[in-house]
Structure 1
Amino acid sequence: MKTYSLLAFLLSTQLIWVSAVFTSEDAQYNETEARMLLNLAAGAYASDATACVQRTFSSNENQMIISQFSVKCDFFGNPCAGYIIVSEVLQQITVVFRGTKTNSQLLLEGWTTLKPSADFYGIGLVNTYFKKGHEKTWDYVASALNHTNYLNYDVYVTGHSLGGALAALAAPRIVHEGLRQSQQVKIITFGEPRVGNLDFSHGYDQLVPYSFRVTHAIDVVPHLPACVKDLSYTPPAGSDGSKPCDPTSTNGGYHHAMEIWYPGNMTQGSQYMVCTGLPRDEDFSCSDAPKVDLNDTTLGVWDHRNYFGVEVPDFGKGGCDPSMTFAGPPTKTGIGALVSSVLGKRK
């Protein structure tokens, strides 16, 4: 397993990544690793991710940004973007995708569409917008992985929100096309929406065993697009009436494994759940349990933008400066507060 230095938490703002190769232990969730990748996912929101990269890694790892990309994702000109880091010292590539950039993109992503409808290389059906974004960014990923200097390097893939969705398509395709073996790819995403249907979920789980979807409290985005609910389930008296996803239906959205749910805050040492319960990949004891009130998702959107104590887009734009401070959860509700929470400060 790649080992991680907790000393960095005590001595500096840098987190130290020590060289090794993926082993079976990498199939276990590592919060130190997740916090590092959250820094990188935040950095994707900046015009230049260099500051976040430098604050995340120690200099002796020689982590270099070898590619930054931004392509038009739709007819509004909204971008699908990201960057790629390589460490020849660690023989490691990290692919980072950026989340939603504008409000028009938020709508076009189709998080509220009824069901995935685009075939993804025979693995299963996926969201059409996500697939289009994947196709427009794939060449940058494939080029890095096929570079003669980096052949056989282990690959990390990460992203927040839309970036998580793009990461969740890149990772299985890397394995599906034989660019890397399953054990050479590890993915951690944050606030990822449902990318595909049940068939895609099953295919994904076989291709990418080292996979973790980190979710925060009642983050609304992992609930979208909706799954088909199990109508045979009877909610207990006094509950909010929520029903689990139907683990047999291929019609709606369905998550892949493995969810890591933080039901409260995400400060250092906060409790989290490794969600291995039923239904498979949609554990009803984790984030899917609370019923989402679509009439007021203000807090759910705040939870989506805030991971590990930082407001992800602003943190990245600020160069992942650990001295940055952020406002707490919203106290106001309603459409005005929702719009403000979704869009934040436009920069």
Structure 2
Amino acid sequence: MEGRILLKGVIFMCLIACSTAREFKVKDQGAIYNHTLATILVEYAASVYVSDLTELFTWTCPKCNDLTKGFQILELIVDVKRCLQAFVGVAPNLNAIVIAFRGTQGTSIQNWIADLYWKQLDIEYPGMEDAMVHHGFYSAYHNTTLRPGVLSAVESAKEQYGDIPIMVTGHSMGGAMAAFCGLDLTVNYGSRNVSVMTFGQPRIGNAAFASYYSKWVPNTIRVTHEHDIVPHLPPYYYYFPQKTYHHFPREVWLHNLGFGLLSYTVEKVCDDSGEDPSCSRSVTGRSIKDHLTYYGVRLGGEESGFCKIVMDDRLAAYSKVDIDGNVHLSRDFSASVLRMNVESNEEGWSI
């Protein structure tokens, strides 16, 4: 009797698991979540943490394979003083320009998370009444060497491959910079077909900004994971919606149901509020471990506690170092190097 009950339980759990499809075609305000694309972009978000610039620029690092095979970097920018890093390149399998921003490095993430508890909305976003954002995140993209390097590389890629899609990604603080980049490309540079997918991104602005952002960059997905602490920061106060930080849509929350051998992962596509109470806000954000792993991919720097870069003489022909010590690695490709399909991707990848 007990065996039959257990068997029924197993069958029931299997039916639930089967009904929880991994390829979601839920569309609202232009956002479509695709599991396969997410597993590709998370590898780019992981690879941008690599500190060996030779391996990264030549795309030979241990993280630079599998689903990102064939990717070619056009521009790699390192802001040494602020420990920021980003790259721009072209992915043949996506028929797209991919931009990735690095998140917070090493054990400094502990102090960074502690600081986020007390951060206030402290700067107005240009051109939008009542929109307030986090000054540090805004400045990390807009007021460093990253922005001009990224924009220059995007322009170069467009000249060679036409108006192909642009996909922007990043993890943690890198996700915050990715969001500002996607908005910048759309509003200030008139780029079409810009999509953003971030992993473990913190809140970056208030409700007015979230509304503004979702209007201009509707093809955006914020992936959150289990009890990841960072998406809960800076804090959201329900009773002060206009004066507090507020996520923009659309969230996809990864979490496990069941236990032991009966455990399976659910990828819940959340509502269009940005603060769906049935998604990551339904749990306490307390885990750094959940912040550092998405789709089974480890995100974060190889070295803890400090920032460093490694670069050998083979990159001399591609590198420039400015007066502040910031590193720019650039490469030009002829149009024949990558046979890009400048129309929509045959697989129809969408975020």
Higher relative contact order (CA 8 A, sep 6+): 2
Q: Which amino acid aligns with 1:29?
A: Y
Q: Which amino acid aligns with 2:85?
A: A
CA RMSD of aligned residues (A): 2.9
For residue 92 of structure 1, report the CA deviation from its aligned partner: 1.8
Contact 1:115/1:197 (<8 A) preserved: no
TM-score (norm 1): 0.68
Q: Which amino acid aligns with 2:103?
A: G
Q: Which amino acid aligns with 1:117?
A: D
How has the CA–CA distance of structure 1 residues 111 and 65 changed in structure 2, closer, same or farther, with 3 Å as cutoff? same
Contact 2:168/2:178 (<8 A) preserved: yes
Higher gyration radius (CA): 2
Alignment correspondent of 2:242? 250
Alignment correspondent of 1:133? 140
Indicate the SS of the match to 2:167.
strand
Q: Where does structure 2 lack aligned partners over 5 or more consecutive residues?
A: 1-26, 258-262, 309-351
Alignment correspondent of 1:78? 82
For residue 146 of structure 1, report the CA deviation from its aligned partner: 1.8
How has the CA–CA distance of structure 1 residues 290 and 309 changed in structure 2, closer, same or farther, with 3 Å as cutoff? same
Q: Which amino acid aligns with 2:184?
A: R
Distance 2:223 2:174 in 1: 13
How has the CA–CA distance of structure 1 residues 121 and 114 changed in structure 2, closer, same or farther, with 3 Å as cutoff? same
Distance 1:106 1:71 in 2: 21
Give runs of aligned pairs for residues 140-179 of structure 1, distance below 5 A: 140-147=149-156, 148-179=159-190
State whether structure 2 residue 294 is matched by structure 1 residue 287.
no
How has the CA–CA distance of structure 1 residues 149 and 256 changed in structure 2, closer, same or farther, with 3 Å as cutoff? same
Indicate the SS of the match to 1:149.
helix
Alignment correspondent of 2:19? none
TM-score (norm 2): 0.68
Alignment correspondent of 1:270? 265
Contact 1:193/1:223 (<8 A) preserved: yes
For residue 131 of structure 1, report the CA deviation from its aligned partner: 1.1
Q: 1:57 aligns with which of 68, 71, 79?
A: 68
301-310 or 118-127, larger mean C-alpha shift: 118-127
For residue 84 of structure 1, report the CA deviation from its aligned partner: 1.0
Question: Deviation digits for residues 52-102 of structure 1, max 9, x if unmatched?
Answer: 34332344xxx3111111114xxxx33111111114786521000011014
Distance 2:209 2:183 in 1: 10
Distance 1:42 1:313 in 2: 7
Distance 2:30 2:209 in 1: 23
Alignment correspondent of 1:340? none
Distance 2:135 2:172 in 1: 16
Alignment correspondent of 1:27? 31
Indicate the SS of the match to 1:263.
strand
State whether structure 2 residue 75 is matched by structure 1 residue 67.
yes
Alignment correspondent of 1:214? 223
Question: Deviation digits for residues 209-253 of structure 1, max 9, x if unmatched?
Answer: 1110000011000000011223xxxxxxxxxxxxxxx5xx22111
State whether structure 2 residue 242 is matched by structure 1 residue 224.
no
Indicate the SS of the match to 1:272.
strand
Indicate the SS of the match to 2:97.
strand
Aligned pairs, number: 263
Q: Where does structure 1 lack aligned partners over 5 or more consecutive residues?
A: 1-22, 231-245, 319-342
How has the CA–CA distance of structure 1 residues 117 and 102 changed in structure 2, closer, same or farther, with 3 Å as cutoff? same
